Amino acid sequence: MIFMNLAKISANGQITVPVEIRRLLGLKSGDKILFFQKQDGEIVVSNASSQAIRKAQSAFAGAAEAMGVTSEDDIQALVDEVRYGKER
């Protein structure tokens, strides 16, 4: 489904994001939105929190495998090591 909505810019440069767009982006009061320009010139609006999570997921991709973490027990062992200084 494609949405098209208009938003009026106030004298201070503020806009109200239409409710349908807020729902699609999962935005709530106090959230930040990210505006970025793609190489083709298109401007994209995104939920900044979601963007940050995707970027972090990408940065950590493969880290568990590299550390030999393959199960919940391995994760618990890492947590114990950090909390209590116990080796895996």
Tens digit of pLDDT per residue, the chain (88 long)?
677 888 999 999 999 999 988 998 889 898 888 888 888 999 888 888 777 666 766 777 787 888 888 888 888 888 888 888 865 4
The domain in which residue 55 lies consists of 19-84
User: Does a structural domain hold residue 9?
Assistant: no
pTM: 0.52
Of 39, 19, 38, 15, the closest CA to residue 28 belongs to 19
Asked if the structure places residue 3 within a domain, the reply is no
Q: Does some domain include residue 2?
A: no
